[in-house]
Amino acid sequence: MPGSRPEQGHAAQGRVGSTRTAFIPGPRLAGWVERFAASHGDLGYEDHDDGVRLAAADGATALLVAPWPDDGRPGRGSGLVERLASLASQPRTVGLLLVRRGGYGVAVASEGVILAAKTGSKYVQSRTAAGGQSQQRFARRRANQADAMVEAVAEQARLVFGGQVFGYILPGGDRGLADEVLAHPALKPWAGLPRLAYLDVPDPRAAVLKKAAADACAVRVTVTDPPPW
């Protein structure tokens, strides 16, 4: 029929809105929720397995996740958001290990403040599209560079972590490299600590590490906008 667009309407049912992530300190969470409601309409609150889920009148959602588990110290308050903000505001100490092909950052932080830290630059070659012997040569070089980086970062982490007391490990950057560093024998004293959710970070220079220390103690908010029509 003229003017009807059934194919587009049917496709729209499967569309997913854009998603973005922000880190909100506990004391600012209530204000953030108020602004979210002002922009998207009345909110529904759900005690989700991963945190608190907000569902807005316009179809937008927000998942609020505490930076750490309650570990027997749940947040206080009468509402879901209030208790989550209280939990995030508890002073806890976290060891950060951020590593990417271009560098690394290691720190111990409490309440967003870095207590000890070290950053450095290393290099692991990107994958190559070359074939044959060239590809094998590049692969060996890349593997050697990665091994050297793991050794170097593990040693720096040992030096930063030793002498500090903290309850969690927060890895970030390249998941594979971070996992290799954390599995290194030099970090065996901290192998049993619970790991928090990975942080997606660029090459961890000093400014990146400082922001990560603040994010480590903040509520992770994932907003999904309503799909376009």
Write out pLDDT tens, residues 107-150: 999 999 999 999 998 655 454 444 455 555 545 555 566 788 89
pLDDT of residue 128: 43
What 3-state class would DSSP assign to 128?
Answer: coil
Cα gap 105→177, rounded to integer Å: 13
Band the pLDDT of 192: cuts 50, 70, 90: very high
Strand partners for 23: 220
Same domain, 154 and 53: no
> By three-state DSSP, how is residue 117 classified?
strand
Whether residue 26 lies inside any domain: the answer is yes
Rounded average pLDDT over 70-81: 93
* Rounded Cα gap, residues 50 and 88, in angstroms: 14
Any idea how long the chain is?
A: 229
Asked whether residue 4 is assigned to any structural domain, the reply reads no
Point out the least confidently predicted range of 105-109, 140-144, 169-173, 195-199: 140-144
Do 124 and 74 lie in one domain? The reply is no
Angle subtended at Cα 165 by Cα 181 and Cα 95, rounded to the nearest 5 degrees: 35
For residue 63, being part of any structural domain is answered with yes
Mean pLDDT of 165-184: 95
Residue at 139 is within a domain: yes
Q: Tens of pLDDT along 41-53?
A: 999 999 988 899 9
Q: Report the interhelical angle of 132-161 vs 175-182 (nearest 10°).
A: 50
Sign of CA dihedral 160, 173, 119, 137: positive
Question: What's residue 121's pLDDT?
Answer: 81
Number of folded domains in the chain? 2
Is residue 156 domain-shared with residue 59, that is, in the same domain? no
Say whether both 60 and 143 belong to one domain. no
In which domain, by residue range, is 80 found?
19-90+219-224
Q: Is residue 206 part of a domain?
A: yes
Same domain, yes or no: 135 and 29: no
Tokens of 129: 């599209």
Q: What SS3 class is residue 101?
A: coil
pLDDT averaged over the chain?
86
Task: Kindly state whether residues 85 and 109 are assigned to the same domain.
Answer: no
| Residues 6 or more apart whose Cβ sits within 8 Å of residue 65 | 50, 51, 197, 219, 220, 221, 222
Q: Based on the domain organization, do 50 and 83 belong to the same domain?
A: yes
Is 81 part of any domain? yes
Give pLDDT, residue 133. Answer: 52
Same domain, 65 and 111: no
Q: Are residues 123 and 204 in the same domain?
A: yes
CATH number at residue 155: 3.30.420.60
In tens, the pLDDT along 77-100 reads 999 999 999 999 999 999 999 999
pLDDT for 5 equals 35
Same domain, 106 and 198: yes
85, 75 Cβ separation under 8 angstroms? yes
Same domain, 105 and 200: yes
Mean pLDDT to the nearest integer, 198-211:
94
Residue 132 token pair: 């044959």
What is the arrangement of strands in the sheet containing 19-24, beginning at the earlier edge strand?
Answer: 19-24, 219-224, 61-65, 51-56, 43-48
Question: What residue type is 219 in one-letter code?
Answer: V
Report yes or no on 146 lying in a domain: yes
Report if residue 168 sits inside a domain: yes
Residue 60 has pLDDT above 90, yes or no: yes
How far is Cα 44 from Cα 37, in angstroms, rounded to an integer? 10
Same domain, 56 and 124: no
> For the residues 174-198, what does the mean pLDDT come to?
95
